[in-house]
Copies of this chain bind each other. A is one copy, B any other.
Amino acid sequence: MEAFSDGVFAFAMTLLVLGLRDPTMGSTGSLLQGLFGEWPAFLAFGISFTTILVMWMNHHNLFTYIRRIDGPFMLLNGLLLLAATLIPFTTSLVADHITSADSGTAAEVYSGTFLFVALAWNLLWQYAIRHPGVLASSVSNAEINTTTRQFIFGPMLYAAAFVAAFFSGIASLAIILLVLAIYAFFAAITTIGGRSIESAQG
């Protein structure tokens, strides 16, 4: 189950590279000018790649809390994977439109997908903590509360990015970058402070 999810995350991250295209196709400029002009594609690639990476790190941490996987949990996890799989599509949309008149729409779709991801996270987590058989009994209430608090910020911040997109695509992207920085920080801290993942070869 976790290996399957890892596969989808890893594959979605790698597929992002298909959003980077040769800028000289159908253009007369030099390759160098073209690559500089493609900055939104590189920025969107970096944001999406790192967001899926952090998502995978959180997924990994979440599964250390899980003892038993049942059908509804699998379906909710599938919802999360469905949302993650959409990211390469919305990333190329935002890359191609953020500097055009459709900038707002592209940012709405992009932030909307991340909002969807964040809501799927919370559904999965809420299901886990409401079904004692699913959560490992060794997980303390303090740990549950910390994780619940961390997850609750996601939908709120992505909803802010979604609303901002109606006014400015770039402002929406900036909020998404900020959320990413916060989550990367928490993912790093949680793994250090929480629980060491012993390597199988160590």
Q: Is A188 in contact with B69, judged by CB distance below 8 angstroms?
A: no
A197 at the interface (CB under 8 A from B): yes
Number of contacting residues on A, CB 8 A? 73
Q: Chain B residues with Cβ under 8 A from A16's Cβ?
A: 85
Number of copies: 4
Q: Chain B CB within 10 Å — which of A2, A88, A197, A199 has the most?
A: A199
Q: Is A20 in contact with B81, judged by CB distance below 8 angstroms?
A: no
Known: A9-B4, A71-B192. A78 touches B53 (CB 8 A): yes
A150 at the interface (CB under 8 A from B): no
Min C-beta distance of A4 to chain B, whole Å: 5
Q: Chain B residues with Cβ under 8 A from A68's Cβ?
A: 196-199, 202
A179 at the interface (CB under 8 A from B): no
Q: Is A69 in contact with B199, judged by CB distance below 8 angstroms?
A: yes
Q: Chain B residues with Cβ under 8 A from A199's Cβ?
A: 1-2, 63, 66-69, 136
